[in-house]
A and B are shown apart, each in its own frame.
Chain A
Amino acid sequence: MKNKLLKGALGIAAVSAVALAGGIAHAKDTITIAVPSFLTGGAAGPFGIPAMNGAKMVTDAINAGKLPAPYNTKGFGGATADVIALDEGGGATKQVAEYRNLVEKRNVDAIVGYISSGNCQALAPVAEELKQFTIFATCGTPRIFEEAERKYVFRTMGHATADNVAAAMYVKEKFPDMKGYTGINQNYAWGQDSWRDFDLTLQQIMPNTKASDKTQFPKIFAGQYGSEISAMSLDKADLIHTSFWGGDLEAFIFQGNARGLFKKKIGVFTVGGTAAYRLGKKLPNGLVLGARGPYGILVKDRQSTLNQWFINTYKDIYGIYPSGPAYQYGQAILAAKIAYDKAGSDATSEQLADALRGITFESFSTTIEMKLGNGHQAATENGYGITEYDSENGENVVKDVKFYPASCVLPPEGQNSVDWIKGGMKGAKC
């Protein structure tokens, strides 16, 4: 009897071991990707929702094998991805707790997203601690890969330095007579870094211009800018730089427009692209508009198969042209597919990181080179244009669009952005 029991137990153990071994050896049928984005709060409408839409649209297309070539293989390394949509609101402390929950309790395979620089800054060390493959999609602060070496964290778009160096170069080219400039930026990492890079670049490339000593840094989501608009109206500066985004951006445009601010001053909006399709005729003509890279309205006319697929599919599903965040989340999901295709659907975080590190790939609207931050930070071109309302077609367009290559607006590998700009942007290939 004892022998029978022993044999039975050994048999069960052997079968279990074989099954377990088989399970390890087989690729997964499904993977889970957590996609955090602002689903509530002022950033949801202009940023979070388009971003989530872009991520879902691309994920669905990948799952169905409907992306154009060369990405027309089904799934992520063959596996179907389930997307967990999460709200990025609530601040960095909440996001860190959510992140830990995603990794330790919900056992997600990859985390792709995040818009806020504050959140990315707080989450990067946590991702490294937990050894979790993570792709930041939109957040802009350069500090993430400049202040520490990362092994598991990636960012598939350029950072704020590129936005602001490109803005300064565009200003120099289009407004060479500009004498002085001021700015209004939100009072946190994103706004302060953006102003710093823009200001430092202009000091280098237009040394005869002067920055106002009364640049404005209102609280994020303040919504009321009456006093700031007055102060900037009285300022002698003839150009206003802003990295406002979300509801703040739209409120500032409304209030500034009503007070003729943009008729008297040149407005440089580094994230203005998100408002271009939404505001329609209410967007003033003549604004210098960026989209944090080659996205949204700036690349509407690019005729590549991938870009036209992205624009047409998005418009068909959501009834509006895709803005920058949709592109940025879409390409981050695409990067995850590339990593899984290379490493396999059962790949560990280490293997996925190895697969994505340092590669170059064609995204929907541009080429992405993962060549900064030891292969973890993307380098892409960056561009600007000038807004104009096309009354014939009833929509905003941008004219005089100019793109600057990544090698022109981003520091070379291993160099800190601030030092690079202060040093005269040596090695920039424009």
Chain B
Amino acid sequence: MEAALTILLDGLQFSSYLFIVSAGLTIIFGVMKILNVAHGSFYAWGAYTAAFFIGKFSDMGLPDALGFLIIVAAAIVVGVILGFIIEQGILKHMYERDEVLIVLATFGLFLVLEDIILIAFGTDPYFAYQPMALLDSVELGGITRDVYGMTLIGVAAVVAVGCWWLLNKTKWGTLLKAVIFDREMGISMGINVPLVYTLTFIGGAILGGLGGAYIAPTISVAPGLGTEVIVLSFAVVVVGGMGSIVGAAIGSLIIGILRAIAVHELPQVELFVVFAVMAIVLVFRPEGLFAPAKPRKI
């Protein structure tokens, strides 16, 4: 029983991490049809910005609790600044181009942003352990768990509910769904599609940044951390269906829980599990489990 609870909590925790970073990716794809490889950079920039300021504030003797504020602020600042610059400066001029070209452009951006991280933050890792240390740990299921790690589940739940509310209960969500369904029709109905694109891209970037900023206190924030996350995010988005928030949530849960089971019961297949799920889904349902319906145009 204890083992089952532990696997469930591990799975949920890893799923939460996956969902937060892949939600932004899938939103951007759903609305803009852009497979944004630079999403890994939003994650990395979020992590670096949060780690840098958490460290600075701690050195200044300010309360460690401010770290939580910094995490949110870092995500917003990174998302707004990078998202705006990239969307307005580059992607805006490529919307009419082939989707493959846009993917290549975002890949180029990813490499550039990784190098800018090296210039801005150097090669030495940053440590931002203060928020994690502040929340201490609890005994659960016969083992010690850090409370900070478990709050990730709450953060993912807030992101999921927030996205659902935004899409289904607001006027903005209705506009988004209209653009997702048919961009041309949206334009003809008077929707300011360029503005929708800009705000969507910034929103997705904020989620990417939030993933990095929230994880920063648990890791050594070092160059290259965006690479790993983008691979996992793609796996989640492919499993769940590209462009679907529900798909990202379910995809994260499937991969997270299966991975936790593998780590506990058969560690040899841990690496295999994530991509085996993706391969199976691609074989039987190439569009993913919850891909949004596509209109048939006559």
Contacts and interface: CB of A to CB of B under 8 A. Distances in A.
Interface of A: 39-42, 44-46, 48-49, 89, 187, 214-219, 221-224, 226-228, 230-231, 233-234, 246-247, 250-251, 254-255, 258-261, 264, 278-279, 282
Interface in B258-294: 259-260, 263-265, 267-268, 270-271
A250 B219 CA distance: 7
Q: Give the size category of B's interface with A.
A: 35 or more
A217 to B, nearest CB: 6
Contacts of A222: 228
Interface stretch (B80-88, B125-133, B197-205): B125-133
B146 A251 contact: no
Q: Quick one: which of B11, B144, B227 has the most chain A CB within 10 A? A: B144
B224 A231 contact: no
Interface string B183-226: 00000000000000000000000000000000100111011110
B263 A231 contact: yes
Contact of B271 (A89, A219, A234, A254): A219
A278 B222 CA distance: 13
Closest 7 CB pairs of A and B: A250-B220, A41-B224, A258-B146, A233-B143, A44-B123, A247-B222, A227-B263
Contacts of A215: 267
Nearest to A49: B123
A44 B264 contact: no
B267 A42 contact: no
A41 B13 contact: no
- A interface majority secondary structure: helix
Interface stretch (B2-10, B63-71, B170-178): B2-10
A44 B220 CA distance: 12
A258 B149 CA distance: 10
- B interface majority secondary structure: helix
Q: Quick one: which of B7, B11, B220, B270 has the most chain A CB within 10 A? A: B220
B220 A254 contact: yes
Nearest to B265: A214
Contacts of B3: 234
A228 B145 CA distance: 12
Given A45-B124, A46-B125, A214-B267, 8 more contacts: A42-B223, A217-B267, A224-B219, A230-B7, A233-B143, A250-B220, A254-B220, A259-B146
A41 B223 contact: yes
B48 interface: no
A289 B129 CA distance: 22
Given A217-B267, A222-B228, A258-B148, A230 B220 contact: no
A282 B126 CA distance: 13
A219 B227 CA distance: 13
21 contacts: A39-B123, A42-B125, A42-B222, A45-B220, A49-B123, A217-B268, A217-B270, A217-B271, A223-B215, A223-B219, A226-B13, A227-B259, A227-B263, A230-B264, A234-B6, A234-B264, A251-B218, A255-B146, A255-B149, A259-B143, A279-B127
A305 B35 CA distance: 58
A221 B118 CA distance: 18
Given A258-B133, A259-B143, A228 B263 contact: yes
Given A231-B263, A234-B142, A258 B218 contact: yes
A254 B10 contact: no
B267 A231 contact: yes
Contacts of A218: 270-271
Contacts of B9: 230
Q: Quick one: which of B7, B132, B218 has the most chain A CB within 10 A? A: B218
B137 interface: yes
A44 B10 CA distance: 30
Contacts of A231: 263-264, 267
A247 B129 contact: no
Contacts of B234: none
A54 to B, nearest CB: 15
A55 B9 CA distance: 46
Contact of A40 (B118, B144, B267, B270): B118
Interface string B115-126: 000100001110
A251 B143 contact: no
B126 to A, nearest CB: 9
